[in-house]
Amino acid sequence: MRTQYQTLNCEPAGAHLLLVRLDRPECANAFNTGMAEELRDLWSELYVEPADLRCVVLTGSGDRAFCAGGDLKERNAMSDAAWQRQHAIFEQMMRAMMQCPLPIIAAVNGAAFGGGCELVLGADFAYAARHARFALTEVTLGIMPGAMGTQNLPRAVGLRRAKEIILSGRPFSAAEALAWGLVNRVCDGTALLDEVLDTARTIAANAPIAVRQAKKSIAAASALDPHSGYAFEIEAYNRMVSSADRLEGVRAFNERRKPKFQGR
pLDDT tens digit sequence for 97-138: 999 999 999 999 999 999 999 999 999 999 999 999 999 999
> 179 in a domain, yes or no?
yes
Strands 55-60 and 17-22: parallel
Q: What is the DSSP letter of 4?
A: B
Residue 242 pLDDT more than 70?
A: yes
Q: Are 38 and 1 in contact (CB under 8 A)?
A: no
Rounded Cα gap, residues 137 and 141, in angstroms:
7
pLDDT at 236: 79
Give the residue-averaged pLDDT of 159-165. 97
**Looking at the structure, do residues 107 and 196 belong to the same domain, yes or no?**
yes
> 118 in a domain, yes or no?
yes
Domain of 234, CATH number, reads: 1.10.12
pLDDT at 223: 82
**Looking at the structure, do residues 92 and 139 belong to the same domain, yes or no?**
yes
> 75 in a domain, yes or no?
yes
Q: What is the pTM of this model?
A: 0.92
Please give the single-letter amino acid code of residue 172: F
CA dihedral (158, 161, 165, 166) positive or negative: positive
Characterize 70-100 residue by residue with b for buried, 16 or more Cβ atoms within 10 angstroms of its Cβ, and e for exposed.
bbeeebeeeeeeeeeebbebbebbbbbbbeb
The total domain count for the chain is: 2
Q: At what angle do helices 208-221 and 226-241 cross, to 10 degrees?
A: 170
Residue 253 pLDDT more than 70?
A: no
**Looking at the structure, do residues 178 and 249 belong to the same domain, yes or no?**
no
> 1 in a domain, yes or no?
no
> 109 in a domain, yes or no?
yes
**Looking at the structure, do residues 154 and 223 belong to the same domain, yes or no?**
no
Characterize 204-219 residue by residue with b for buried, 16 or more Cβ atoms within 10 angstroms of its Cβ, and e for exposed.
bbbbbbbbbbbbbbee
Query: Of 204, 223, 243, which residue constitutes the final position of a domain?
Result: 204
> Distances from the Cα of 4 to the Cαs of 9, 10, 26, 42, 145, in angstroms?
7, 7, 19, 11, 30
- Per the model's pLDDT, the better-predicted residue between 105 and 240 turns out to be 105
> 72 in a domain, yes or no?
yes
**Looking at the structure, do residues 26 and 146 belong to the same domain, yes or no?**
yes
> CB neighbours (10 Å) of residue 105?
21
Give the residue-averaged pLDDT of 56-85. 90
**Looking at the structure, do residues 193 and 212 belong to the same domain, yes or no?**
no
Q: What is residue 52's three-state secondary structure? A: coil
| Local confidence band at 173 (pLDDT 50, 70, 90 cut-offs) | very high
Give the residue-averaged pLDDT of 225-245. 78
Rounded Cα gap, residues 29 and 60, in angstroms:
7
**Looking at the structure, do residues 223 and 116 belong to the same domain, yes or no?**
no
- How buried is residue 106: exposed, middle or buried, by Cβ count under 10 Å (0-12/13-18/19+)? buried
> 259 in a domain, yes or no?
no
Beta partners for residue 129, in sequence order: 187
**Looking at the structure, do residues 168 and 64 belong to the same domain, yes or no?**
yes
**Looking at the structure, do residues 135 and 215 belong to the same domain, yes or no?**
no
**Looking at the structure, do residues 116 and 24 belong to the same domain, yes or no?**
yes
C-alpha closest to that of 184 among 206, 160, 203, 208: 203
Domain that holds residue 247: 208-254
> Distances from the Cα of 220 to the Cαs of 163, 215, 227, in angstroms?
23, 9, 11
**pLDDT tens, 185-215?**
999 989 999 999 999 999 999 999 999 999 9
| Local confidence band at 172 (pLDDT 50, 70, 90 cut-offs) | very high
> What mean pLDDT, rounded, does the chain reach?
92
**pLDDT tens, 21-51?**
999 999 999 999 999 999 999 999 999 999 9
Query: Of 184, 204, 224, which residue constitutes the final position of a domain?
Result: 204
> 260 in a domain, yes or no?
no
Domain of 38, CATH number, reads: 3.90.226.10
pLDDT at 226: 79
| Local confidence band at 222 (pLDDT 50, 70, 90 cut-offs) | confident
**Looking at the structure, do residues 245 and 137 belong to the same domain, yes or no?**
no
**Looking at the structure, do residues 73 and 159 belong to the same domain, yes or no?**
yes
